[in-house]
Amino acid sequence: MSDYVRKTSGRGFQDEVVVLEDVQETGPSLVAKRTLFRLITFLSPSLLLVLWEVLARLNVIDVRLFSRPSLIFQTLFPLMSSGELFRHAWISVQRIILGFLCGAVPGVVLGLSMGLFPPVRASLMPLVASTFPIPKLAIMPLILIVFGLGEASKVFTIAIGVFYLVLINSMTGVLSIDPIFLDVAKNFGASRRQFYLTVALPGSLPMIFAGLKLGMGTALLLIVAAELSAAQAGVGWMVWRAYDMFDIERMFSALITLAVMGYLLSIALDALEKKIIPWKER
């Protein structure tokens, strides 16, 4: 931010000269500020951990319920070095990816069809609109009855959650393509198939990806619920198992793993988006 200061030369009222002088900003440079902010970003959670530890040791926080960072790390590191944590994480990740694909692929296909063909939209929209608001957790017992206690029920739970979000976003994506692009395609003689491939699909990709990202959030939520019942492994199962055993440190270890998993999966989606939508402004 540069500021201006007026200086007047004292030559009387008749012909006063006004000089506008650029004043250099004092204080820390932009680079220094950015470093400072980065430091704060790193320090504030660390500070919270320290506070947690101190308060727990002072018995202000009940260690039986909330544990404390040092105890959690003492549990977390052996879990990591023995590979147990990674085994559970990998099982959950596999379920998420499989469920994600099983939900996203039909979601994109149906969503695009609904966007492109008004008769399809007219016939499917009531179904979608009436079943979408049902909380996916509420139909879990039904899913268990239909798909049994094996992998299928867990994959399906995630798939159904992802499906709706991707479907609705894909449909909206097609419908929000600027009509001028339809004119261009028509004027340049695009066939139906060419229109789908050169306009409808790429035009709705940004919205489809927005749906995929929302879907990923839901998938993480649902994996924990899905692994509540009839699971033998997985990070969600670890949380519930720790609850049964009242092993708070183990529970926190699982929660941290979930956070890291979610973070890595969203990074993976971002990378995929960059690869598939290189034209998007960032």
Question: Cβ(257)–Cβ(80) under 8 Å?
Answer: no
Token pair belonging to 106 = 């039909």
Q: How far is the CB of 212 from other proteins (least distance, A)?
A: 17
96-104, 119-127, 141-149, 272-280 -> range binding other proteins (CB under 8 A)? 272-280
Cβ closer to other proteins: 13 or 279?
279
Q: Which of 70, 131, 176, 191 binds other proteins (CB under 8 A)?
A: 191
Cβ closer to other proteins: 190 or 255?
190
Question: Which long-range contacts does 193-198 make (Cβ < 8 Å, 24+ apart)?
Answer: 196/116
Q: How far is the CB of 180 from other proteins (least distance, A)?
A: 5
Residue 217 binds to other proteins (criterion: CB under 8 A) = no
Q: How many CB atoms are closer than 10 A to CB 143?
A: 19
Cβ closer to other proteins: 103 or 206?
206
Cβ closer to other proteins: 105 or 177?
177
Cα(207)–Cα(281) distance, integer angstroms: 14
Sign of the torsion angle spanned by Cα atoms 97, 102, 103, 107: positive
Cβ closer to other proteins: 144 or 177?
177
Token pair belonging to 72 = 């959690």
Cα(188)–Cα(202) distance, integer angstroms: 17
Cα(282)–Cα(279) distance, integer angstroms: 9
Q: Which of 73, 90, 147, 181 binds other proteins (CB under 8 A)?
A: 181
Q: How far is the CB of 79 from other proteins (least distance, A)?
A: 45
Q: Which of 5, 15, 244, 279 binds other proteins (CB under 8 A)?
A: 279
Q: Please state at what angle helix 201-226 crosses helix 84-116, rounded to 10 degrees.
A: 140
End-to-end CA distance of the chain: 25
* Residues in region 84-123 near other proteins by CB under 8 A: none
Site residues (vs other proteins, CB under 8 A): 180-181, 183-191, 194, 198-199, 202-203, 205, 277-279, 281
